[in-house]
Amino acid sequence: MIAVSRAPWEKLEAFKRRMGWNFKWFSSGNNDFNYDYHVSFTPEALKGEIEYNYGKWEKGYSDLPGVSVFYKDGDGNIFSHLFCLCSRHRYSEYGIQLPRFGS
């Protein structure tokens, strides 16, 4: 499992160590990863409609939750994992119905 959060890597690493977690955790604080996946939004984007959960939203927060699950096989092929049947996009999950990983 790999997790991505917007906090600085140093804070993520300290928290991971304190909790005894051993998965890979990366910071997206200094790149466009969250913007590319439409879960973080610039102040300019928030002035109009935003795209979130494959729909248009009138209002939003600068950061919203989202989970995408992928699998890489031994030959290097990457597959999306069918994760949520309730979402219009079957390979990602957004909003309040997110699962609890690592618990």
- What pLDDT, in 10s, does the model give residues 49-88? 888 877 888 777 888 888 777 778 899 888 765 343 333 4
Enter the tokens of residue 98: 């997110």
β-pairing, 50-52 vs 2-5, is unpaired
Between CA 84 and CA 13 the distance in angstroms is 29
Is this model's pTM higher than 0.75 or not? no
pLDDT of amino acid 80: 67
What percent of the chain shows pLDDT beyond 90? 31
